């Protein structure tokens, strides 16, 4: 998820572009850059730097030439680390065309090979740079028409993209396009804007045009032309932005956490993109995954819970022993590790010191390290042999939601990949899992449609002193995650249990009215019956049951329905109501949802 801004109009472009990037910096902040078409001499002028936007602003000083049209970008790296070269904009080899991109070009490797064979010189490791070279070639075929070139190039791309491009032969003109990634037009008076979201230009105009899938916007200071990819001109669907500036930064949501809960379908889709039938070759090129005899997952907090779910899938599909370890405990056990151990550190930030130190310990003993991380270029992936990046985009709220979902996806993808390599997963099971994975974004959308009544229900328990979470099989780590969310957001005692464990002591906790959230296994499964008995045990002692289930459950006092899916994938769906319960409880208790007390987004101390 990156920040994208374009300005063309009566004012000098630098101000509105930088202001827009500041507003969008929450979308990505590991590098930033701008490109302008100078008034004098109509040249392309560019400056870009790794690091936060401030790094770029520092070096700009007063050396920026006058220009009335330009584009800017803040990056959340997906392909290629956060370096000056990988920062956007990217140029063609003539240095006259600049392009910025948000999203993932799934077929970038094959495009790059074709372009290099045709003599194009690449300067970065990014998927985005291919677009600059494609546009440069296509422009020449279309008599210098940048919009026509954009329409043609978009038809060659697979994946998700928001693109803005400028060319020094057409000063004042900015061409944008989008597919599965946002782009809005800001309609001004003698000026126009293009941006990833309205927060970039809301202080200048509240008039906006939403672009649909595979639509191209061709703007100048006084004109806006929108077409489809065949060049057919489309009507303008102008609307008035109702948000204020701060609400716009959260996409109109009250908190970043709620925004990120609702971003989960896209985060899952982006993490799955191009990987369901096999991991990209550049993900696993640095590691030999054949010669391993055990897997050790190390992580903390929510990431640890994702690892616990991963254990079930990897053990079953790859027929290999999987240990899941709390990173903070792991190395103090002095565990046996050798070069047949595949160590999988899971970390959203890539900077968690407990996980990093555990990884270094295992690496010194010969383990192969295959990281799962959401932050490109952070320490853990840099010190790993291979990394599977999740594509959740920046997660601003301290409580991990979309990062957790994409960590689950990464676990499933690694389980499938190892199963293929080891020949331990049948073709029909693989086909079933691949099919169910592809349906997850839509099924999470369905769960999100049931959120409102759940928010109302949660408020009934806001005075409770404790809440218990029960689950079995992959529902057990889901219960642990639900309890953690409630603790860290509502500051309420909460505990997750394996359903079968309750009768061995914890059931003594049950009093009249104790709220118990039961994460039900898939209907009809053996464990569903066992879980139903566990529910009866606690209900008989006064518990109030909130069941998360894919089918009706008579014993439940309250039922939250989720769609059916493969039993191993169910946590992707059942965790969403748990996130909402924790979110709503935090609000009911007047807590700071995005920045809960005592917590940090990345714990970089042991």
In three-state secondary structure terms, 542 is: coil
Q: What is the DSSP string of 147-201?
A: HHHHHHHHTT--EEEEEEEEETTSTT-EEEEEESS--EEEE-SSEEEEESSGGGT
Among 20, 89, 182, 301, binds ligand AGP (CB under 6 A): 301
347 is a site residue for ligand AGP (CB under 6 A): yes
Contact 117, 186 (CB under 8 A): no
What are residue 322's phi and psi, to 5 degrees?
A: -125, 120
Of residues 329 and 432, the one with the C-beta less far from ligand AGP: 329
Closest distance to ligand AGP from the beta carbon of 347 (Å)? 3
348 is a site residue for ligand AGP (CB under 6 A): yes
Closest distance to ligand AGP from the beta carbon of 144 (Å)? 47
Per-residue tokens: 163: 């693109």
Distance CA 485, CA 596 (A): 11
Closest distance to ligand AGP from the beta carbon of 346 (Å)? 7
Closest distance to ligand AGP from the beta carbon of 378 (Å)? 9
In three-state secondary structure terms, 589 is: coil
Of residues 355 and 478, the one with the C-beta less far from ligand AGP: 355
Distance CA 240, CA 217 (A): 19
The H or E element spanning position 146 is: helix 146-154
Q: Which stretch binds ligand AGP (CB under 6 A): 31-39, 237-245, 254-262, 398-406?
A: 398-406
Among 184, 388, 398, 518, binds ligand AGP (CB under 6 A): 398
Among 128, 227, 302, 534, binds ligand AGP (CB under 6 A): 302
Of residues 157 and 572, the one with the C-beta less far from ligand AGP: 572
Total residues interacting with ligand AGP, rule: CB under 6 A: 15
Of residues 371 and 553, the one with the C-beta less far from ligand AGP: 371
Query: DSSP E strands: which ranges in 43-141?
Result: 44-50, 67-75, 90-91, 97-105
450 is a site residue for ligand AGP (CB under 6 A): no
Of residues 201 and 304, the one with the C-beta less far from ligand AGP: 304
Q: How far is CA 118 from CA 109, 111, 149, in A?
A: 14, 11, 18
Distance CA 412, CA 407 (A): 9
Q: Which stretch binds ligand AGP (CB under 6 A): 271-279, 344-352, 414-422, 542-550?
A: 344-352
The H or E element spanning position 116 is: helix 108-117
Distance CA 569, CA 16 (A): 45
Among 44, 185, 292, 300, binds ligand AGP (CB under 6 A): 300
Residues 98-117 touching ligand AGP, rule: CB under 6 A, are none
Distance CA 546, CA 516 (A): 6
Q: Which stretch binds ligand AGP (CB under 6 A): 69-77, 122-130, 180-188, 394-402?
A: 394-402
Q: How far is CA 520 from CA 3, 559, 563, in A?
A: 40, 10, 12
Among 69, 349, 390, 570, binds ligand AGP (CB under 6 A): 349
Of residues 341 and 374, the one with the C-beta less far from ligand AGP: 374
Of residues 326 and 507, the one with the C-beta less far from ligand AGP: 326
Closest distance to ligand AGP from the beta carbon of 432 (Å)? 30
Instruction: Show Cβ contacts of residue 72 under 8 Å, excluding neighbours closer than 6 positions.
Output: 3, 4, 5, 6, 17, 18, 20, 21, 32, 33, 34, 35, 100
What are residue 297's phi and psi, to 5 degrees?
A: -100, 130
Among 124, 284, 355, 579, binds ligand AGP (CB under 6 A): 355
Residues 488-507 touching ligand AGP, rule: CB under 6 A, are 488
In DSSP terms, 518 is beta-bridged to: 470, 547
Which positions from 246 to 285 touch ligand AGP by CB under 6 A, shown as an x/- string?
Answer: ----------------------------------------
Report the helix count and the strand count for the chain, using DSSP H and E: 19, 24
Residues 370-389 touching ligand AGP, rule: CB under 6 A, are none
Q: Which stretch binds ligand AGP (CB under 6 A): 206-214, 284-292, 393-401, 422-430?
A: 393-401
Active site residues: 2, 601
Residues 463-492 touching ligand AGP, rule: CB under 6 A, are 488
Among 399, 527, 535, 543, binds ligand AGP (CB under 6 A): 399
Contact 447, 401 (CB under 8 A): no
Of residues 29 and 45, the one with the C-beta less far from ligand AGP: 29
Of residues 227 and 302, the one with the C-beta less far from ligand AGP: 302
Q: Which stretch binds ligand AGP (CB under 6 A): 23-31, 299-307, 412-420, 520-528?
A: 299-307
Residues 546-605 touching ligand AGP, rule: CB under 6 A, are 602-603
Of residues 150 and 399, the one with the C-beta less far from ligand AGP: 399
b/e code 487-504 from CB counts within 10 Å (16+ = b): bbbbebebbbbbbeebee
Q: Which stretch binds ligand AGP (CB under 6 A): 193-201, 298-306, 521-529, 567-575?
A: 298-306
The H or E element spanning position 549 is: strand 544-549
Which single residue brings its beta carbon nearest to ligand AGP?
301
Q: Which stretch binds ligand AGP (CB under 6 A): 129-137, 154-162, 203-211, 297-305?
A: 297-305
Distance CA 78, CA 374 (A): 9
Contact 398, 594 (CB under 8 A): yes
Q: Which stretch binds ligand AGP (CB under 6 A): 80-88, 285-293, 345-353, 519-527?
A: 345-353
b/e code 223-234 from CB counts within 10 Å (16+ = b): ebebbebeeeee
**Residues lying near ligand AGP in the complex (CB under 6 A):** 300-303, 347-349, 352, 355, 398-400, 488, 602-603
């Amino acid at each position: 998820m990156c920040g994208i801004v374009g300005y063309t109009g009566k004012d000098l472009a630098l101000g509105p572009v930088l202001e827009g990037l500041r507003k969008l910096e929450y979308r990505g902040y590991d590098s930033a850059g701008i490109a302008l078409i100078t008034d004098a001499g109509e040249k392309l002028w560019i400056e870009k730097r790794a690091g936060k936007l401030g790094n770029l602003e520092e070096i700009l000083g007063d050396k920026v030439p006058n220009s009335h049209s330009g584009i800017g970008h803040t990056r959340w790296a997906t392909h290629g680390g956060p370096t000056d070269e990988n920062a956007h904009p990217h140029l063609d080899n003539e240095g006259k065309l600049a392009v910025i991109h948000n999203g993932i070009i799934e077929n970038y490797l094959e495009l790059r090979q074709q372009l290099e064979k045709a003599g194009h010189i690449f300067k970065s490791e990014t998927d985005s740079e291919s677009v600059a070279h494609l546009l440069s070639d296509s422009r020449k075929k279309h008599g210098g028409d940048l919009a026509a070139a954009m329409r043609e190039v978009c038809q060659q791309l697979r994946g998700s993209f928001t693109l803005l491009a400028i060319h020094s032969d057409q000063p004042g003109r900015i061409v944008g396009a989008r597919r599965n990634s946002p782009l809005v037009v800001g309609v001004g008076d003698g000026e126009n804007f293009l941006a990833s979201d309205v927060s970039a230009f809301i202080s200048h105009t509240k008039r906006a045009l939403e672009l649909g899938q595979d639509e191209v916007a061709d703007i100048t200071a006084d004109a806006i032309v929108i077409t489809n990819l065949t060049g057919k001109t489309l009507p303008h669907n102008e609307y008035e932005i109702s948000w204020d500036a701060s609400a716009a930064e959260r996409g109109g949501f009250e908190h970043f956490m709620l925004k990120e809960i609702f971003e989960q379908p896209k985060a899952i889709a982006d993490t799955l993109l191009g990987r369901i039938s096999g991991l990209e070759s550049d993900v696993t090129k640095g590691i030999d995954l054949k010669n391993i005899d055990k897997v050790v997952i190390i992580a903390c907090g929510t990431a640890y819970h994702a690892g616990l779910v991963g254990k079930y899938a990897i053990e079953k599909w790859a027929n290999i022993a999987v240990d899941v370890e709390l990173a903070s405990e792991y190395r103090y056990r002095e565990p046996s590790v050798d070069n047949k151990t595949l160590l999988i550190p899971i970390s959203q930030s890539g900077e968690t010191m407990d996980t990093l130190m555990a990884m270094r310990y295992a690496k010194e003993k010969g383990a192969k390290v295959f990281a799962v991380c959401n932050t490109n270029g952070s320490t853990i992936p840099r010190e790993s042999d291979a990394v599977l990046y999740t594509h959740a985009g920046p997660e601003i709220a301290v409580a991990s939601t979309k990062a957790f979902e994409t960590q689950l996806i990464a676990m499933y993808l690694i389980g499938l990949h190892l199963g293929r390599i080891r020949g331990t997963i049948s073709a029909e099971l693989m086909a079933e899992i691949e099919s169910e994975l592809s349906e997850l974004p839509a099924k999470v959308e369905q769960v999100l449609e049931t959120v409102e009544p759940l928010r109302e229900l949660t408020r009934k328990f806001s005075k409770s002193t404790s809440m218990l979470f029960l689950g079995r099989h992959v529902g057990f780590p889901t219960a642990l995650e639900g309890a953690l969310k409630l603790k860290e957001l509502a500051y309420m005692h909460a505990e997750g249990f394996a359903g079968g464990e309750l009768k061995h002591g914890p059931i003594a906790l049950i009093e009249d009215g104790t709220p118990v959230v039961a994460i039900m296994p898939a209907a009809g499964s053996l464990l569903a019956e066992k879980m139903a008995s566990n529910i009866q045990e606690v209900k008989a002692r006064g518990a109030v049951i909130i069941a998360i289930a894919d089918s009706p459950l008579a014993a439940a006092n309250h039922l939250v329905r989720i769609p059916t899916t493969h039993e191993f994938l169910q946590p992707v769906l059942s965790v969403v109501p748990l996130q909402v319960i924790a979110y709503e409880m935090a609000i009911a208790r007047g807590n700071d949802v995005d920045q809960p007390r005592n917590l940090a987004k990345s714990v970089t101390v042991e």
